Amino acid sequence: MERDINPEDSIQRLLNPRHIAIIGASDTPGRIGHIIYKTLLSSSAVLYPVNTKQERVGTHRALNSPSELPGNLDLAIVTINAAAAVEAAEACALKGCANIVIIAGGFAETGDEGKALETRLRVLPEKYGCRILGPNSLGVFVPSSNLDTIFVEHGDQALSEGGGVAFITQSGSVGVESLGLASNSGFGMRAFVGIGNKVDLSEADFLPWFGNDPDTDCIALYVESIERGRSFLEDARDVARSKPVVLLKAGRTQAGASAVSSHTGRLAGSDKVVSGALRQYGVQRAMDDEELCDASKVLSMVRPAQGNRVAVITPAGGFGVMCSDYIDSPDRRASLCMAEISEITQKRIKEKTFPYASCHNPVDLTAGATDEMFLETLKALMDDEGVDIIICVAFFAPPTISENLLPAMSALIREAPKPVLVFTQYGPFTDEYLRRFYREGVAGYPSINRVIRAARFLVERQRVLKDLEDK
């Protein structure tokens, strides 16, 4: 029974399913099938738990076999072990299920027996018209629809407001840790997709889909190998013309490439070739998970920088000096330089600040700075045509700065004609303040290195747009 595969329709049904089967759903706490079933109860989808040993799972009647499922379901999530998962996937495909997510590992990465199981999965899409995500996949997480098949802690509460980053990852652990890292300081998640061993659906399928998705502002990818390389790059170039694409590719070294082979059963390509191709086709490259999250956050929230001249506002001189060092340091991605603040701007700042404040760059308002001094300085730098990017060192500990500064500063930043980023540290309250900035529409970071690095991504994004415009 062969059916045509419509990629756009199948991914739409995967990310927005109305009917979901859970193969291996269970009432036993700790089991993957139990965790996923409990989580999906908050979604609006109709659930069909399948369990060979239970007549009921939670509030639902349990089906004894996938063969008892109704036809044409949007999604089946297979939570059982590898050998049983293949049989279940075959049964789901026969019933006309549009998408099958296979959670289990134990396939090509484990040797010949696992490769044989994977081969059985590979024939199903062509034979039945289904799509397969995985195996060795955490599945999908779409905050806006409460679809969540991730069975480990992943910052879902902090990410539940949704947002504009589509996160596609070949590694479940890297993906989950990245989500946790991102959620600490505020992060807009459109969707998370764990592609796993990629027997069928891969980054090459999801990239164009999210590229056409109006709710996606930036696409972030972690991969260890790139499927359908030429097609992927051409799609990436098309997508990058309208929204940023950031990619973290592991296996850059010989040792890393060997680890990729044992992890996924695939070979990683030459890193030098990959790096050159990504740059040529408009993909911005991250070098670790923290950088991937920081880049996708800023690129989804902030416009590209029209130049590389950076001005710094700080109430602490030491941090201003360190900002200057980071800005002036060479970087493989994009060079930055300290902006020359105009005399007119310096005069405006001087009129609103202490006589002993430094009106040069970095602008040091000193520890006695007030809300008004900070805001007036920010306005002056926004109007200075010699400044392309502004970094605000925002501390809320001084008694002369009030809680009103954060929303007032955020309102200015949202309307700014140029990128404005925030670096803030406040001990155990740092993440809380960063999340507040995020909710106000401001990209904030907990270290100088990270905020300056984010600025470099904005400069690089402008270079990407110019390069693609010329091609």
The pLDDT of residue 353 is: 97
| pLDDT of 262 strictly over 70 | no
Paired tokens of 79 = 């939570």
Backbone angles phi, psi at 146, to 5 degrees: 60, 25
Distance of CA 265 to the CA centre of its chain: 25
| pLDDT of 355 strictly over 50 | yes
The pLDDT of residue 334 is: 94
pLDDT digits (tens, 9 = 90+) for 32-60: 999 999 999 999 999 999 999 999 999 99
Choice among 101-110, 259-268, 279-288 with the minimum mean pLDDT: 259-268
| pLDDT of 2 strictly over 60 | no
Per the model's pLDDT, the better-predicted residue between 419 and 156 turns out to be 419
Backbone angles phi, psi at 69, to 5 degrees: -65, 150
Paired tokens of 374 = 């900070």
Q: Indicate yes or no: pTM above 0.85.
A: yes
**The domain made up of 152-301 is a member of CATH 3.40.50.1100:** no
Averaged pLDDT of the chain: 92
pLDDT digits (tens, 9 = 90+) for 417-464: 999 999 999 889 999 999 999 999 999 999 999 999 999 999 999 999
Are the C-beta atoms of 236 and 245 separated by less than 8 Å?
yes
Percentage of the chain modeled with pLDDT above 70: 93
The hierarchical CATH code for the domain 1-137 is: 3.40.50.720
Burial (CB < 10 A; 0-12, 13-18, 19+), residue 272, is: exposed
DSSP string for residues in 75-120: EEEE-S-HHHHHHHHHHHHHTT-SEEEE----SGGG-HHHHHHHHH
The secondary structure of residue 143, as a DSSP letter, is G
Question: Residue 445: enclosing H or E segment and its boundaries?
Answer: strand 444-445
pLDDT digits (tens, 9 = 90+) for 166-219: 999 999 889 888 888 878 888 889 999 999 999 999 999 999 999 999 999 999
Given the candidates 3.40.50.261, 3.30.499.10, 2.60.40.10, 1.10.4080.10, the CATH classification of the domain at 303-469 is: 3.40.50.261
The pLDDT of residue 471 is: 72
- The b/e string for 110-133 (b: 16+ C-beta within 10 A; e otherwise) is beeebeebbeebeebbeebbbbbb
Confidence category of residue 145, pLDDT binned at 50, 70, 90: confident
The pLDDT of residue 399 is: 79
Report the 3 state secondary structure along 54-75.
CCEECCEECECCHHHCCCCCCE
Distance of CA 173 to the CA centre of its chain: 14
Altogether, the residues listed in the chain come to a count of: 471
Are the C-beta atoms of 229 and 278 separated by less than 8 Å?
no
Are the C-beta atoms of 25 and 35 separated by less than 8 Å?
no
Backbone angles phi, psi at 148, to 5 degrees: -155, 110
| pLDDT of 256 strictly over 50 | no
pLDDT digits (tens, 9 = 90+) for 276-309: 999 999 999 999 999 999 999 999 999 999 999 9
CB-CB neighbours of 96 under 10 Å: 16
Residues 99 and 464: their CA atoms lie apart, in Å, by 35
Residue entry with tokens 């289904």: 130
Crossing angle for the helix pair 430-439 and 172-184, to the nearest 10 degrees: 90
Distance of CA 82 to the CA centre of its chain: 28
The pLDDT of residue 309 is: 99
Confidence category of residue 265, pLDDT binned at 50, 70, 90: very low
Residues 19 and 21: their CA atoms lie apart, in Å, by 7
pLDDT digits (tens, 9 = 90+) for 378-415: 999 999 999 999 999 998 876 788 889 999 999 999 99
Residue ranges of the chain assigned to CATH 3.40.50.261: 152-301, 303-469
Percentage of the chain modeled with pLDDT above 90: 82
What are the residues facing 148 on neighbouring strands? 141
* Helices and strands: H and E segment counts in the chain: 16, 20
